[in-house]
Chain A
Amino acid sequence: MSGDLRTIGALIRRGLNEILRVPGGAIPGILAPTIFMLGLAAVFGRAAALPHFGGSDFRTFIVPVGMLQGAGFTGAATGVNLARDIERGWFDRLMLAPSPRPVLLAGVVGSACVRCLLPATFLLIVAFALGVDWPGVGALALAALLVMGLAAAAACYATVLALRFRTQQAAPLMQVGAFVSIFLTTAYAPRELLSSWLQTVSDVNPVTHVLEGVRQGFVGDVTWAGTWPALLSIGGLLAVFGTLAVRGMRRQGY
């Protein structure tokens, strides 16, 4: 057990080392959510004048979207890095290790959980500096938990694609999955303002619950009614994509 934990820890450290070793690849992913938050607020900021926004500033409304984007991009980047490891043969050597496949997967996914806190932290620092209200420690802790959970799910999804295609060229597919799941929600506007088709899609999209779970601290108060659907959604996403990723890992080398 302790050997498994050491393996997971080593893989997480290796994932974090990527940030220093390939900063050109990592820095844009850290900056992207903040850029999105600033960009969307600059472009669509006037939309907050529409009814149902409840007087909340558009920037505050979309800060949680940026946090989830950071998680999504980090998860996708984890898949891209894995694809690169596959292309260069490092992954094949990893498969020779006497560790169970789920442990190796946990190391890869674990690095995404830690790395996703970087873009979220940077985003929050900029957002608070620009006047977004402090949501409270409890709300931030819940937001961090949900963001890490979504990063893990996105990393599992990207891992499935990396193992399937075995090339970095699959990167756009990894990013699109994360991107789409986050934007087909109440990302831009309250449910009442969405077109009917988007209302329907966002209702069945589990990421909507995650987003609303993160958002509740920024717009309104944290409640259990707003929290449990988010936790349940994260659990469901991890169960589905985690199972697929473990299955993909187990198929390697046979």
Chain B
Amino acid sequence: MTRVVVALARRALRNALRKPQFLAPLVLMPTLFLAVNVGGLERTTMLPGFPHVDGFLDFQLAGAITQSLLLGGVSAGIAAALDIEGGFFDRLVASPTPRIAIVLGRVLAASVIAAAQVTYFLVLGTIFGAAIKGGVLGVLSVLAIGTVAGTGFGALGVMIALRARNASTVQGIFPLVFVVLFVSSAFFPANLLSAPADVIAAYNPLSYIANGMRQPIAFDNALRPLLEGLAAALGVALGATGLSVLALRGRLGAA
């Protein structure tokens, strides 16, 4: 089982790396969004109620990571949908491959890509002047929360692909990535959000994931936001993987 999962994950990663131009947007787009946010709204740190940060980049970096990870989930979903459209999925099902490995292989690949995405943003932030206040422990915390969250978003993408069965529909959820981000505190302090985003943000797991990563980047290694972030990421990962497996069973049942 483990060998099959690893083999399928390696295949997914190889396919992704064969066309790096399709991986690039996962980091390129959030990087540009980060640049535009910081470039256009830098002075908002002067607004009353904004927490004291060294710069808007420090604050925004966690939002960019979260956004990138969500896009990674969409990308994982598109890749899974293309496997379905192209017939690879049906050939896998016809083979003696453990069913659950089909989902777990894709999810494992998503987690590897997520770790690379988080690393990219930490390096980028450091180059452009964000000092990771939490030091090495902080970097490891951000990596842990980000990788687990990215795994969950990848599983969500796979789940949607299994239900939709075509890449166009999975692609269509791309704008929804921004919806869930906008109703979280990923980009701006929760106390400065307008209603009803401020209320929804309090219940949005993305708020906790972003805050968990932001704490060691912009502030310190305070335990509570870190644990909340990790718990939210774990919840998303476990829940989404479970839903993917259910979607797979549903699809196999329908076939």
A selection of 5 A-B contacts at a CB cut-off of 8 Å is A28-B176, A39-B178, A46-B194, A173-B25, A184-B36
- Interface band, chain B: 35 or more
Residue A171 CB within 8 A of the other chain = yes
Contact of B179 among A39, A187, A198 (CB under 8 A): A39
Residue B253 CB within 8 A of the other chain = no
Residues 79-96 (chain A) with a chain B CB within 8 angstroms? 80-81, 84
Residues 167-200 (chain A) with a chain B CB within 8 angstroms? 168-173, 175-176, 179-180, 183-184, 187-189, 193-195, 197-198
Give the interface of A toward B (CB within 8 A): 22, 24-29, 31-32, 35-36, 38-47, 49-50, 73, 80-81, 84, 165, 168-173, 175-176, 179-180, 183-184, 187-189, 193-195, 197-198
Is there contact, CB below 8 Å, between B29 and A170? no
B contact residues around A22 at 8 Å (CB)? 166, 168-169
Is there contact, CB below 8 Å, between B40 and A29? no
Contact of A43 among B33, B82, B166, B187 (CB under 8 A): B187
Is there contact, CB below 8 Å, between B171 and A44? no
Residue B123 CB within 8 A of the other chain = no
Is there contact, CB below 8 Å, between B39 and A198? yes
Is there contact, CB below 8 Å, between B22 and A32? no
The stretch from B42-50, B231-239, B240-248 touching chain A is: B42-50
Q: Which 10 A-B pairs have the closest CB atoms?
A: A39-B182, A32-B175, A198-B39, A172-B25, A188-B40, A42-B197, A24-B169, A25-B168, A195-B39, A28-B172
Residue B93 CB within 8 A of the other chain = no
- B82 CB to nearest chain A CB (Å): 7
A33 and chain B: residue at smallest CB distance:
B175
Residue B167 CB within 8 A of the other chain = yes
- A146 CB to nearest chain B CB (Å): 21
Contact of B39 among A24, A172, A175, A194 (CB under 8 A): A194
Is there contact, CB below 8 Å, between B37 and A188? yes
Residue B120 CB within 8 A of the other chain = no
Is there contact, CB below 8 Å, between A32 and B178? yes
A110 to B87, CA, bound (A): 33
Residue B17 CB within 8 A of the other chain = no
Is there contact, CB below 8 Å, between A43 and B182? yes
Given A50-B44, A172-B26, A198-B39, 15 new contacts (CB under 8 A): A28-B173, A35-B175, A35-B178, A35-B182, A39-B182, A44-B41, A47-B41, A50-B47, A169-B22, A171-B171, A176-B29, A180-B32, A184-B32, A187-B40, A195-B38
A contact residues around B179 at 8 Å (CB)? 35, 39
B contact residues around A173 at 8 Å (CB)? 21-22, 24-25
Residue B230 CB within 8 A of the other chain = no
A165 to B19, CA, bound (A): 10
Residue B84 CB within 8 A of the other chain = no
B contact residues around A38 at 8 Å (CB)? 182
Is there contact, CB below 8 Å, between B25 and A176? yes
Is there contact, CB below 8 Å, between A168 and B37? no
Is there contact, CB below 8 Å, between A39 and B183? yes
B contact residues around A170 at 8 Å (CB)? 21-22
Which of B25, B26, B39, B194 has the most A CB atoms < 10 Å from its CB? B39
Known: A172-B22, A173-B22. A198 touches B172 (CB 8 A): no
B contact residues around A179 at 8 Å (CB)? 29, 32
Is there contact, CB below 8 Å, between A39 and B40? no
Residue B53 CB within 8 A of the other chain = no
B contact residues around A197 at 8 Å (CB)? 39
Residue B203 CB within 8 A of the other chain = no
Known: A39-B182, A43-B188, A50-B44. A26 touches B172 (CB 8 A): yes
Contact with A along B32-71 (1 / 0, CB 8 A): 1101111111111011000000000000000000000001
Contact of A198 among B26, B40, B167, B169 (CB under 8 A): B40
A contact residues around B192 at 8 Å (CB)? 46
